[in-house]
Structure 1
Amino acid sequence: MFYELATLTLPFGTAGTAAQNVQAFCTAPEAQGELLACWFTDIGPLNQMIVLRGFADLASLQAERDRTQKSASPFGCGEIFQKLEQHSYQGFPWMTPVRPSAESGISGPVYEIRTYGIKPGGVQATIDLWEQYVPPREKLSPCVVAMVALDGPLRFTNIWAYPTLDARSKARTDAVAQGIWPPKGGPAHLTTDMVSTIALPTAVSPLK
């Protein structure tokens, strides 16, 4: 499964309008892929809308990227956003594809989006370690997706769902105490370039 993670930096007071426009753009008849999530940041870089779209193959992702880039109003927000970034990813091959909350049963409303730099040669080792360690870790909180970037610096992004911020803290503390997270040996493959953002679903987000 392939994914695009787009980030729109917005002026104050425009999130509601932007979300409606994003939904219309991503569900238009000519659109490819599927809108999976539309979040607004709460902790971390603020005034950002983060849009997750899923694609069955790389060709569909590239075609939709081309449509977006050639649009006079990308995501229907060309006259709203101050900056737009789009990044392409491939999901870890063993992971279940991301589905909306109505299908998967996964919901937040607190989502943590974490991006880690990967050292050269560390991609496959990271994928293998996460395949081993994510199942026990998911008994504490679900991993929405883990995916390797196809452009930009070598890195991967993982997204986790929690009912509350307190639940997030407890799950992370319990995982360390039980010795099931982080994956043993995993940090050796990562750089210190790490970013974490807490985001909440907008009204149009299929991941609730």
Structure 2
Amino acid sequence: MTLYDTVTLTVKIGANAQVFENIKASGDAPGSKLLGCWYSDIGALGKVMVLRGFESEAALVKERQRLLLEGNPFSCGEFVTDVEVSSYALFPFLPPIEPAVHGGIYEMRVYGTKLASLQHTIDAWKNAVPERTKRSPLIGAMYALDGTVPRFLNIWPYASVDERSRIRAEVVKDGIWPPKGGPAHLTTMESTIYMPAPFSPLR
């Protein structure tokens, strides 16, 4: 799978447990696979993010249409106040995202890039990721197909917030990260720390 979407629900206070139960019970939509479900812990609170992979563009579009027309994502409509859906294509040099147990926390970073800089960014990441992932794994990096573009999402798991801080400081000190020439092409940066739901395939 190289096509993905994220569905981010803004959840009413105290409703996380019911939202998790409903998402788990919803199962996989045709042509898709549930890969992760997380709730925000540092950053914008009250968010539940679902990551799904799709077998084809047609499957992704069909599921998007179903979600919009039914208006009740994961049967959670009564528990949410807002829904944001984004479609993504995986950076072509990365392997498909697969379920795995990493423990701890997940950092979701979203970067905006200058126009005509996306290919440069992908190339820079291709050169830098092999050394960077020797320090900690990368779940995936993918560029947006809709919404405000160009932008890309990258997902990093860590055992703890302290481990995240330590590893990030080390790779900067050692000149491994960020990718050489990459920051000059960025326009916006946003980071949220998420915790995996108990049933999340990526956790």
Alignment TM class, shorter chain as reference? over 0.9
Number of positions where the alignment pairs a residue of Structure 1 with one of Structure 2:
201
1:114 aligns with 2:88: no
Aligned match of 1:152: 147
Structure 1 ranges of 4+ moved more than 3 A: none
Q: 1:9 maps to which residue?
A: 10
What's the TM-score, normalizing by structure 1? 0.93
Asked whether the 8 Å contact 1:175–1:181 carries over to 2, the reply is yes
2:173 aligned to which of 177, 185, 188: 177
Deviations 1:157-208 (A, max 9, x none): 10001011111001100101110000110011111x2110000000121001
For residue 127 of structure 2, what is the amino acid of its counterpart?
Answer: Q
The 8 Å contact of residues 36 and 196 in structure 2, kept in 1 or not, is answered as yes
Matched AA of 1:125: H
For the 8 Å contact 1:114–1:194, the answer to whether it is kept is yes
In 2: Cα distance, 1:79 partner to 1:13 partner = 13
Residue in structure 2 matched with residue 162 of structure 1 by the alignment = 158
Is 2:134 the counterpart of 1:133?
no
Which amino acid letter does the alignment assign opposite residue 182 of structure 1? P
Gaps of 5+ in 1: none
Task: Indicate conservation of the 8 Å contact 1:11/1:81, yes or no.
Answer: yes
For the 8 Å contact 2:31–2:55, the answer to whether it is kept is no
Displacement of 1:23 in angstroms is 2.0
> Following TM superposition, by how much is the alpha carbon of 1:25 offset from its aligned partner in structure 2, in angstroms?
2.1
Q: Which residue of structure 2 aligns with residue 54 of structure 1?
A: 53
Q: Is the 8 A contact 1:25 1:31 kept in 2?
A: no
For residues 78 and 32 of structure 1, what CA distance do their matches in structure 2 show? 23
Q: Percent identity?
A: 46
The alignment partner of 1:151 has SS state of: coil
| AA matched with 1:139 | K
1:100 pairs with 2:99: yes
Describe the SS at the equivalent of 1:114: strand
Deviations 1:10-39 (A, max 9, x none): 111111110111122243xx5331100000
Q: Secondary structure at the match of 2:80?
A: coil
One-letter amino acid matched to 1:173? A
Q: Which structure 2 residue ranges, 5 or more long, are not aligned?
A: none
- 1:37 is paired with a residue whose SS is strand
* Normalised TM-score (structure 2): 0.96
Deviations 1:106-136 (A, max 9, x none): 5132100000001011110111110110110
Q: Distance between the aligned counterparts of 2:194 and 2:139, measured in 1?
A: 13
State the superposition RMSD in angstroms. 1.1
Distance, in Å, in 2 between the alignment partners of 1:185 and 1:59 is 36
User: In the aligned structure 2, how far is the partner of 1:108 from the partner of 1:134?
Assistant: 21
Give the letter aligned to residue 109 of structure 1: G
